[in-house]
């Protein structure tokens, strides 16, 4: 009998050799979300892992990976190099489309901090991204790419994070795609307050299931646990 639990597979992504964690739902996946970490974080980010685990339980596969190698992350300039981070995210998306474990799955991006800008910049050059979610992100750093993003975009900001909220409002005004700005009351930048990260999970899951989920009857070869 097949297990009903989600599972995680370690992968190495070409061409830069970033290490990743593939999260596979128990049932056939209805889509896949790539996570873009920010400010030097890694695939082990506890907040992003919390969101990823919830998405897996909702039937969405996830990929948390290191956009930078250990040596690259030691250079703080790279941590804020949005073009480089976006390039790595795009390379991961290309790799997914070439391997059986991810082929045929609708694609979404989840970005935090500077990773949100990377997600928007990467999405602006692609036509296969169906949804984007930003958590406490810096979408303003995507600059001119904001006008070119076509994927439905959800910006989630803490109510007690006024500077980032103002930056998100300005980015929201520039976006031309379907978009929404959600403010989580009482949350600061890292969503450490009780119940605030759960609010992020609820918002992100709803957004991805609405825009990302495929009809399994129409896509019989969607990702299974046995992949």
pLDDT, position 194: 97
Average pLDDT in the 211-215 region? 72
pTM, to two decimals: 0.90
- Sign of the torsion formed by the C-alpha atoms of 175, 63, 95 and 31: negative
4 CB burial (10 A radius; 0-12, 13-18, 19+): exposed
pLDDT, position 40: 63
pLDDT, position 213: 73
- Sign of the torsion formed by the C-alpha atoms of 202, 12, 152 and 56: negative
- Say if residue 2's pLDDT is above 50: no
The encoded tokens of residue 212 equal 């990302």
Distance CA 120, CA 118 (A): 5
- Say if residue 4's pLDDT is above 70: no
The string of pLDDT tens digits covering residues 99-142 is 877 778 999 999 999 999 999 999 999 999 999 999 999 999 99
Average pLDDT in the 154-169 region? 98
User: End-to-end distance of the chain based on CA atoms, in angstroms?
Assistant: 16
DSSP state of 99: S
pLDDT, position 183: 98
The string of pLDDT tens digits covering residues 21-53 is 999 998 888 899 999 987 667 787 889 999 999
Contact indicator for 158, 183 with CB cutoff of 8 Å = yes
pLDDT confidence band for 161 (50 / 70 / 90): very high
Residue-range domains of the chain with CATH: 7-211 (3.40.50.1820)
pLDDT, position 58: 94
Rounded mean pLDDT of the chain? 89
The string of pLDDT tens digits covering residues 165-202 is 999 999 999 999 999 999 999 999 999 999 999 999 99
Distance CA 24, CA 197 (A): 21
pLDDT confidence band for 70 (50 / 70 / 90): confident
Strand partners, 8: 23
The most confident of the ranges 12-26, 60-74, 121-135 is 121-135
User: Is the backbone of residue 53 left (phi > 0), alpha (psi -120 to 50) or beta?
Assistant: alpha
């Amino acid at each position: 009998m097949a297990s009903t639990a989600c599972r995680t597979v370690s992968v190495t992504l070409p061409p830069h050799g970033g290490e990743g964690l593939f999260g596979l739902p128990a049932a056939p996946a209805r889509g896949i979300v790539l996570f873009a970490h920010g400010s030097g974080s890694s695939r082990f980010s506890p907040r992003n892992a919390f969101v990823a685990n919830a998405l897996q339980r909702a039937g969405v596969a996830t990929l948390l990976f290191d956009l930078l190698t250990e040596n690259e992350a030691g250079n703080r300039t790279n941590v804020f190099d949005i073009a480089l981070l976006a390039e790595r995210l795009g390379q991961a998306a290309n790799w997914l489309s070439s391997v059986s474990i991810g082929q045929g799955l609708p694609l979404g991006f989840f970005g935090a901090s500077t990773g949100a800008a990377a997600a928007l910049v990467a999405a602006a050059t692609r036509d296969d991204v169906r949804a984007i979610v930003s958590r406490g992100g810096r979408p303003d750093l995507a600059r001119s790419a904001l006008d070119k993003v076509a994927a439905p975009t959800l910006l989630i900001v803490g109510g007690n994070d006024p500077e980032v909220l103002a930056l998100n409002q300005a980015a929201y005004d520039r976006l031309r795609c379907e978009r929404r700005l959600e403010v989580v009351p009482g949350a600061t930048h890292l969503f450490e307050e009780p119940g605030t990260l759960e609010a992020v999970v609820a918002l992100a899951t709803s957004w991805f299931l609405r825009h990302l989920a495929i009809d399994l009857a129409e896509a019989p070869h969607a990702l299974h646990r046995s992949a």
